[in-house]
Structure 1
Amino acid sequence: MKASVIMSTYNSEEWLEKVIWGFSVQTDLDFEIIIADDGSKPKTKELLDNLREQVSMPLIHVWQEDNGFQKSQILNKAIVASNSDYLIFTDGDCIPRKDFVETHLHHREKGFFLSGGYFMLPMNISQAITKEDILFQKCFQVDWLVSRGLKKSFKNNKLSATGFMSKLLNLITPTKATWNGHNASGWKEDLVFINGFNQEMQYGGQDRELGERLFNKGLKSKQIRYSAIVVHLDHARGYVNEATWKKNFAVRENTRNNKVVKTPIGIDSN
């Protein structure tokens, strides 16, 4: 297979199903999906067992017991479980446009990782999107979204830009090409070399810290935020707390200041 798509999830079957329907209609279907499940209840497994009969790509369910927010650990387990040399990362609340995988594969290059973004949807539209809206790509059409209450904004160009315009916006955007967990990709050998995600870190910056260690390894990044498109479904964030943010900030400072490449608590800790 050309790629392994790794997506995180936790007790969010409705959103996860919509995301998998998005991957079912990709223009390049030569990939597997690995669900990095941070302790969901049995309903997630039941959903995946049902979807396996309806989609063409392999669905691999990597699960661990619920021990609080341990996304870094389950992502590392998913990296180990992957069967491809190129890994595309996203989340179980981000529906990909049909050219998402093709775009990542087109731009992949040794010595680089790819940095994409997302287009945030409000809760009412997130809930209203149906399977048919995904299969026929209506949820990526600005006019369709505006007719359902989306506010008009320059940010809508992220969905409508194609060809030269998307390349130009990738070039001039002030947003840095960092590792973003909802939309990033890289070579498995690079991720294994740096020992994957830092499992000391909970929510808040663990994706960026991984990217900073890739930079320390000598990699560069490419900006594809206007080319590799996902729409982000709204949800609550009950796992955010100030103490964790401070701890993670200190880890990231250490990574940058001391040019850390390999995290001491990563893939090999499992």
Structure 2
Amino acid sequence: MKLSVIITTYNAPAWLQKVLWGYEAQTFKDFEMVIADDGSADETRLLIDNMRKEVSYPVQHIWQSDEGFRKCAILNKAIVASQTDYLVISDGDCIPRKDFLEVHINKRKQGYFLSGGYSKLPMDISQKITKEDIFNQNCFDIDWLKANGLPATFRNNKFTAKGFKASLLNFITPTNASWNGHNSSAWKKDIYAVNGFNEQMRYGALDREMGERLENSGIKGLQIRYSAVCVHLDHSRGYKNKEDLARNKAIWMKSRKEKLTWIEDGIVKSAKPVSQPA
């Protein structure tokens, strides 16, 4: 296998199933799936067991007990469990377009991580998407989306941009090429070198903070938001609160200000860097 896909999930089996269908539809096939499960109930486990029989790619289910929002911890466990040297990290509510992994594998480059985006869908369209819509790629067809109520915005260019237009939009977008947890990829050795995700962080900026450490270590972001396309299925965020957001932002700004490349509460619980994986 040439890459590992890591997606996070928590008690959203209907959305996870749609995402797993999205990866079955990929033009690039040489990958494994690692599901980073932050404490879902048995319904998710049963779904994954059934999907293993339906999809052509191998699936690892990495689970931890439900002790509140601990996305960083389960991501670190999934990174360790992954079996390749290149990692694509996304979420269990983001359906990838059929060329999603092809873009990531073709644009990977030593010394860089790839920074993609997503297109948010309203709840009614999220619920309407069927297995057939995913395999037929209707959910990435701008005419189908508009017919089902998607508002017209500049961001809809993600669905229509190809080739030169996509490259031009990647170049001129004012959005920073930051690490985005819904659509980014990097060499495993580079993530190990900054000790992965900071397990002191809960919801809010946890992805950006790791990206900050990657950049501080000399790994720069490359923009692919108009090339690697995925749609985000709507959901509530009961775990979101002002206290965690403020605390996480302070941790992120500390990493930026002090040019940190290492955190002690990451893949390993140590103040000393670990050796790189083979």
User: Which AA in structure 2 matches 1:81?
Assistant: A
Distance (Å, rounded) in 1 between the aligned partners of 2:173 and 2:94: 21
Give the structure 2 partner of residue 117 of structure 1. Answer: 117
Give the structure 1 partner of residue 73 of structure 2. Answer: 73
Identity of aligned residues (%): 57
* Pair 1:227 & 2:198 matched: no
Distance (Å, rounded) in 2 between the aligned partners of 1:153 and 1:83: 39
SS in 1 for 2:268: helix
SS in 2 for 1:53: helix
| Displacement after TM superposition at 1:104 (Å) | 0.3
Give the structure 2 partner of residue 218 of structure 1. Answer: 218
Distance (Å, rounded) in 2 between the aligned partners of 1:220 and 1:260: 15
Distance (Å, rounded) in 1 between the aligned partners of 2:133 and 2:267: 38
Give the structure 1 partner of residue 96 of structure 2. Answer: 96
Distance (Å, rounded) in 2 between the aligned partners of 1:205 and 1:92: 18
SS in 2 for 1:52: helix
| Displacement after TM superposition at 1:269 (Å) | 3.2
Distance (Å, rounded) in 2 between the aligned partners of 1:101 and 1:131: 19
Please say which of residues 237-246 and 224-233 is displaced more in the overlay: 237-246
User: Which AA in structure 2 matches 1:118?
Assistant: Y
Matches within 5 A, 1:50-69: 50-69=50-69
Distance (Å, rounded) in 2 between the aligned partners of 1:253 and 1:207: 13
Distance (Å, rounded) in 1 between the aligned partners of 2:180 and 2:152: 25
Normalised by the length of structure 2, the TM-score is 0.96
Note the aligned Cα RMSD (angstroms).
0.8
Give the structure 2 partner of residue 31 of structure 1. Answer: 31
| Runs of 4+ residues over 6 Å off in structure 1 | none
Distance (Å, rounded) in 2 between the aligned partners of 1:159 and 1:147: 14
* Pair 1:182 & 2:177 matched: no
Normalised by the length of structure 1, the TM-score is 0.99
Matches within 5 A, 1:251-262: 251-262=251-262
Distance (Å, rounded) in 1 between the aligned partners of 2:202 and 2:79: 18
Distance (Å, rounded) in 2 between the aligned partners of 1:260 and 1:172: 29
Give the structure 2 partner of residue 244 of structure 1. Answer: 244
Distance (Å, rounded) in 2 between the aligned partners of 1:20 and 1:116: 19
User: Which AA in structure 1 matches 2:194?
Assistant: I
Please say which of residues 248-257 and 104-113 is displaced more in the overlay: 248-257
Give the structure 2 partner of residue 195 of structure 1. Answer: 195
Give the structure 2 partner of residue 14 of structure 1. Answer: 14
The size of the alignment, in residue pairs, is 270
For residues 145-197 of structure 1, the C-alpha deviation after alignment (integer angstroms, 9 at most, x for no partner) is: 11111112221111111011000000000000000000000000010111100
